[in-house]
Amino acid sequence: MQSDMSISTWQAELAVDCRCILGEGPQWDAVNQRLYWCNILEKQLHWLSPASGESGHYQLDHMVSLAAPLEGGGLLLVGEDRLSRFDPINAAVEKFCDFEADNPVTRSNDARIDRHGSLWLSSMGKAAEKGAGSLYRLHRGKLTQLRTGLTIPNAICFSANGGFAWFTDTATGVVMRWTLDSDGWPKGEPQPWADFSATQGNPDGAVVDSQGCLWLALWGASQVVRLDHDGQVIARVELPVSQPSCPAFAGPELKTLYITTAQEGFSAEQLAQEPTAGSLYVAETGIKGLAEPPLRLV
């Protein structure tokens, strides 16, 4: 990967001092102007209203990795063994369907809504067991398995025209690009697109901007990198914590980049060195994000 120090670099600042064990899944709810993200291991759904600066969280009874805004209102929670409708006004949860409910080894991980209003979502072993994870698509309420044998599925995101999907198995260090048909289903085999196997940090969550570039969190490297159409690093956001997990564009014009982080696996010494690890960070890059449609279940 390109490592030219002259590329554009921004510094991320603390947005919400929430100190999640495993902050993940930032998702902008454009209708309600709220950013949601998850503290997976502590079974919490966090939220921020950027306009007012208010923030808070809901305590749940199971691990959740994404809250996807639904067409018609409310959220769909991607959980460790189920998908559930969630009403943030009264915190009511209603089960929608099972999700690997017969497999106690796994939990949900990365997920994102595609250009067709369908949801790609993944599973992984709770202890990152090798090959325990899978990749799925929830299309009009029906769950279809797309790929198995993954260890830590991440970086799920989509090109503006819906022609490509990206994802990674973090353990491999390689981001893959998959050609999609006109209905958003994969065609053929995914191809290697960006290789981080020989660099510091492991590819984690990702999001696409309005110029078609991919912003990728590098777990363990204290940065989010911006990749061009050829998978080359052209810019970066530096963080004061080492484990960024996923970026997302938010705000009324999608010009603010928020980044979830984690303190999972930290020793007492590491936590002393990075006391705000696991908190939500923000960077103003001046680059606009790509709006995502709400999730359609029918």
Q: Which residues are annotated as a binding site?
A: 24, 107, 109, 154, 204
Q: Taking the chain, what is the end-to-end CA distance rounded to the nearest angstrom? A: 41
Task: Report the candidate in 173, 179, 138, 129 with the shortest Cα–Cα distance to residue 154.
Answer: 173
- Cα–Cα dist 264/213, whole Å: 28
Specify binding-site residues for substrate. 107, 109
Binding residues for a divalent metal cation, as ranges, are 24, 154, 204
Q: Is 61 a catalytic residue?
A: no
Q: Point out the catalytic residue in the list 81, 110, 204, 209.
A: 204
Of the candidates 110, 101, 113, 104, the residue with the CA atom closest to the CA atom of residue 24: 110
Return d(Cα 183, Cα 103) in angstroms, integer: 30
Identify the CA nearest to 166 among candidates 139, 192, 187. 192
CA 289 – CA 210 distance, rounded (Å) = 5
| 41 three-class SS | helix
Give the closest residue to 96 by CA, choosing from 128, 123, 125, 64. Answer: 64
**What length does the chain have?**
298
In angstroms, what CA-CA distances link 70 with 36, 53, 67? 13, 24, 9
The set of catalytic residues is 204
